[in-house]
Amino acid sequence: MTRPERFRYFLDYFITYFPEPKTELLYGNPYELIVAVVLSAQCTDKRVNQVMPPLLAAFPTPAHLGVATADDIFPFIRSVSYPNNKAKHLAGLGRMLAEEFGGEVPSQLDELQRLPGVGRKTANVVASVIYNQPAMAVDTHVFRVSHRLGLVPKTATTPLAVEKGLVRHIPEALIPKAHHWLILHGRYVCVARSPKCGICPLAAGCRYYEQNVAPLLGVIEGPAKVAAKPKRSPKQP
């Protein structure tokens, strides 16, 4: 199966069975989302969703966050990963939003990346989720799933290389959705240590399955013979 064929298989499945994916981070406005995404680095969405309500009760706007110190913020986020650094980032983020952007979260990637704690991945998430821009955020799930499915070449060894490889083949209008599709598939099916290939609806179009699983099962005709059509996994969100 060629790379364009793999992309078509991937897109056709999710367009059909999961047409409106959403982030699992809970938020009510752009400020809340950017705070949540900063906290989510190397941390689960479930944990972030737990700490956000009391954090927002204390710092409901960028102005409130901007006058806080890292020490003020730390007790609210102590249970997330790297709380000391993230407390410093959030204090600086609040100040910059309040002082330079009028309390509004900017929509441009270059402006977003000026904010403390906001790298390219976080900026892409905000641009995609809030402003529906064709921005592909590459986290560990997107990186892993893109390689396993064969959507990007093995030479794509950096998040930026994976990002470029994905946006080259995905229609602009679908990029914001494809970001969620890849993340959720990696979170629930194509997990890091033991991918659930037996229930994966994308197995018939997957390079990893073709090279590592099908031979063990005696499937020698190729991945297209594994399934006549995509099937929805019971674990698929």
For the segment 67-74, the average pLDDT, to the nearest whole number, is 97
Architecture of domain 30-129: Orthogonal Bundle (1.10)
Active-site choice (12, 71, 110, 121): 121
Please, which pLDDT band fits residue 226 given cuts at 50, 70 and 90? very low
Kindly tell me if the per-residue pLDDT of 35 is higher than 70: yes
CA angle 137, 39, 187 (to 5 degrees): 55
Q: Which residue has 């890849």 as its token pair?
A: 182
Instruction: Provide the mean pLDDT of the chain.
Output: 92
CB neighbour list of residue 215: distance below 8 Å, 6 or more residues apart: none
Predicted pLDDT at 1: 87
Q: How far apart are CA 37 and CA 116, in angstroms?
A: 12
What number of helices (H) and strands (E) belong to the chain? Answer: 13, 0
Kindly tell me if the per-residue pLDDT of 192 is higher than 60: yes
For the segment 198-222, the average pLDDT, to the nearest whole number, is 85
Q: Quote the tokens at residue 134.
A: 């064709």
Kindly tell me if the per-residue pLDDT of 224 is higher than 80: no
Q: Quote the tokens at residue 165.
A: 């490889």
Q: How far apart are CA 167 and CA 156, in angstroms?
A: 13
For the segment 197-203, the average pLDDT, to the nearest whole number, is 95
Q: What would the pLDDT profile of 101-152 be if each residue is shown by its tens digit? A: 999 999 999 999 999 999 999 999 999 999 999 999 999 999 999 999 999 9
Q: What would the pLDDT profile of 161-181 be if each residue is shown by its tens digit? A: 999 999 999 999 999 999 999
Q: What is the largest CA-CA distance in the chain?
A: 64
Question: CB–CB of 152/165 below 8 Å?
Answer: yes
Q: Which residue has 């997330």 as its token pair?
A: 80
Percent above pLDDT 90 for the chain: 89
Q: Where are the domains of the chain?
A: 3-21+137-225, 30-129
Q: Which residue has the higher pLDDT, 218 or 211?
A: 211
Active-site choice (12, 139, 154, 229): 139
Q: How far apart are CA 83 and CA 89, in angstroms?
A: 10
Predicted pLDDT at 134: 95
What's the topology of domain 3-21+137-225?
Endonuclease Iii, domain 2 (1.10.1670)
This prediction has a pTM of 0.86
Q: How far apart are CA 192 and CA 141, in angstroms?
A: 8
Predicted pLDDT at 219: 59
CA 3 to chain centre: 22
Predicted pLDDT at 232: 55
139 as an active site residue: the answer is yes
Predicted pLDDT at 157: 97
121 as an active site residue: the answer is yes
Question: CB–CB of 87/73 below 8 Å?
Answer: yes
Long-range contacts of 49-53 (CB under 8 A, 24+ apart): 49/24, 49/25, 50/79, 51/76, 51/77, 51/79, 51/80, 52/26, 52/27
Kindly tell me if the per-residue pLDDT of 212 is higher than 70: yes
Q: How far apart are CA 229 and CA 13, in angstroms?
A: 9
Predicted pLDDT at 87: 97
